[in-house]
A and B are shown apart, each in its own frame.
Chain A
Amino acid sequence: MGRKITIEPVTRVEGHGKVTIHLDDDGNVAQTRLHIVEFRGFERFVQGRPYWEMPVLVQRLCGICPVSHHLAAAKALDVIVGAGTGEGLTPTAEKMRRLMHYGQMFQSHSLHFFHLASPDLLFGIDADPAIRNVIGVALKHKDLAVQGVMMRKFGQEIIQATAGKKIHGTGAIPGGINKHLTTEERDNFLNGPDPLNADKMIEWSLSALEFFKDYHKKNKDFVDNFSVFPSNFLSLVRKDGAMDLYHGVLRAVDPTGKKILDDINYQDYLKYIDEEVRSWSYMKFPYLKAYGKKDGWYTVGPLARVNTADFIPTPLAQKEFEKFKAYNKGKPSCMSMHMHWARLIETLHSAEMMKQLLNDPDIVEGELVVKGSKQSEGVGLIEAPRGTLFHHYEINGKDQIIMANLIVSTTNNNQPMNEAVNYIARNYMNKKREITEPMMNAVEVGIRAYDPCLSCATHAFGQMPLEISLYDSLNNLLEIKSK
């Protein structure tokens, strides 16, 4: 008798999704699907609003990565106010925005590693959920948990100083930024008492990387084989191929490392990227037009960025990048658990970038805004912590938004997350007659590697427990398990 297993994870702030796993009559996995209920109401909601409201308005989308939406919207509006497509801002505006962005990247990646990933690594994915969390980490490795807290705090304080406030920050405006950093703020971030200073953040980023590499050495089989499947990878890179999380051109590579998209001005993204609608999911499936729906899907996020970039323009992260590349013999890594490795390399890069920017005199003085001739349309892309984020707006003669299109990072990773679930299900669930905790954990860990932000992807609100339902081939419910 065939079975259908449904995993339905939901939290209040992050929307919801569920996993269905269909088993055939022999108990083998026949089909898997990750369903995420996407609500596209936001694009309609902003129609008719004045364009200049967007950088603040889009923060209503998500309380988890508001800074990424704030900056992507501001970048799109830079084009609309005639301030260029990323290179036209004043040095102060660009550097302040970059500082805000690297602060966001740093705190987001730190949270993911210490709060979500490190418990899985320290205790194993089959450990009791009661200890498989940051409090469990605190019990066994207090120093690691304290570092996680302080790294988050440092990143959050950088955001507050650059965006102006914690909620609905107003720092980035069309054509620039609305404030400098004060010299007192800068000095405090650079030379504040331990541990809240830039050097300590670099030191701790390095130690988190060492922790992961040591774990990898001892657990090669898990890290390298837990979830592996070929994928294309897409991200922004700087014109010269450097990793650049704030601005650049679009590049995509295939699983062999061949560039299948390169040096693309993202204002033209619609020429290269389309989104497929599938009847069973509300969340769309983006793909590269030239390669079609079946073969053109791609992964975004830390692993994609490390796979597409030629180098990282800060010295310590570059050394780690070289080790990563050497381990993967110069080819893209298709191992999902390497996402954690890539994320930690980016954490280090972000810490180095923050220090570099804080030492730049343009941060505390200089012109803030430029304006040019008004355009009717603009696209803003940014490498958000979870991957490439697209904002696209059109305005009318009354300065009102008449069209908005957002492709969020988690939507870009829709197919890869489905592939990960499929790979894990086939390895953990074949020939299994019941749902076990390790099965649920494995699926969770596989999806979690992508750090999905379902709030962005779904714009939803609700609260439900994690639930697994088991159906037979006739869709009769056999079993429900919640956690």
Chain B
Amino acid sequence: MHVAERILIYAYGNPGRQDDGLGNRFVEEFGKWIRSQDIEGIELESNYQLNIEDSLIIAGKDIVIFVDASNEDIEDIHFSPVEPSEGRSEFTTHAASPSFVLALCIQLYDKHPKTYLLQIRGYEWEFKEGISEKAEKNLEKALELFREITLQGFKELQGFANN
């Protein structure tokens, strides 16, 4: 199978801080699955955090899915479209949000890939490797969702979004 569009799934987080590595694990596991299914055309990326140079990476894609651990009040996983932000700088920020990266991409490269954020709820953030038992269940739900999205050829993504 070869997906028609140029798709990037980009996880960020620190796998040395337990559930902060949920995104990185997602990409690892999802990568294994797409290889086992001989699915081509999906690029996977993993990093500690997003930054300004990622605007260039996403500029060459049709669809971008950012994947991040979340400590927000979501039940398990949350999938939503990303709108470009105004890009306000924080106090000492050395990292960027998906909406910031998208805004910069539009501004610098005149490209606007369809961009989504998959958040996976985490619970433990200590100096350990490995995902907590509770978060593992959320990871599996996220993988399930993306297996389905992939098999449908990444079409009508909006229909999978929570909002």
Contacts and interface: CB of A to CB of B under 8 A. Distances in A.
Interface string B27-71: 000000000000000000011110111011000000000000001
Interface residues of A, number: 54
A138 B107 contact: yes
A166 interface: yes
Interface stretch (B73-81, B86-94, B155-163): B86-94
A321 to B, nearest CB: 26
Contact of A156 (B53, B86, B104, B108): B53
A461 to B, nearest CB: 5
A14 B52 contact: no
Specify the main secondary structure of chain B where it touches its partner: loop
Nearest to B57: A153
20 contacts: A10-B91, A11-B95, A14-B93, A45-B126, A61-B127, A63-B95, A111-B94, A134-B52, A134-B89, A135-B87, A138-B108, A145-B104, A152-B53, A166-B48, A167-B15, A167-B46, A168-B15, A459-B127, A461-B17, A463-B71
A142 interface: yes
Given A135-B100, A138-B104, A463-B71, A63 B48 contact: yes
B14 A9 contact: no
B56 A149 contact: yes
B116 to A, nearest CB: 20
Nearest to B95: A13
Nearest to A466: B91
B100 A42 contact: no
A142 B89 contact: no
Contact of B16 (A60, A166, A444): A60
Contacts of A474: none
A383 B46 CA distance: 27
Interface in B88-134: 88-95, 100, 103-104, 107-108, 125-127, 129
Given A9-B90, A64-B94, A466-B91, A166 B47 contact: yes
Contact of A116 (B71, B86, B93): B93
A59 B20 CA distance: 14
Contacts of B49: 13, 63-64
Contacts of B51: 111, 152
B54 to A, nearest CB: 9
Interface in B118-156: 125-127, 129
B48 A133 contact: no
B159 to A, nearest CB: 30
A479 B72 CA distance: 27
B126 to A, nearest CB: 8
B108 A146 contact: yes
Given A66-B48, A130-B88, 19 more contacts: A10-B91, A13-B94, A14-B95, A59-B16, A63-B95, A64-B95, A119-B89, A133-B88, A135-B100, A135-B107, A138-B108, A145-B107, A149-B53, A149-B55, A149-B104, A153-B53, A166-B47, A168-B16, A454-B92
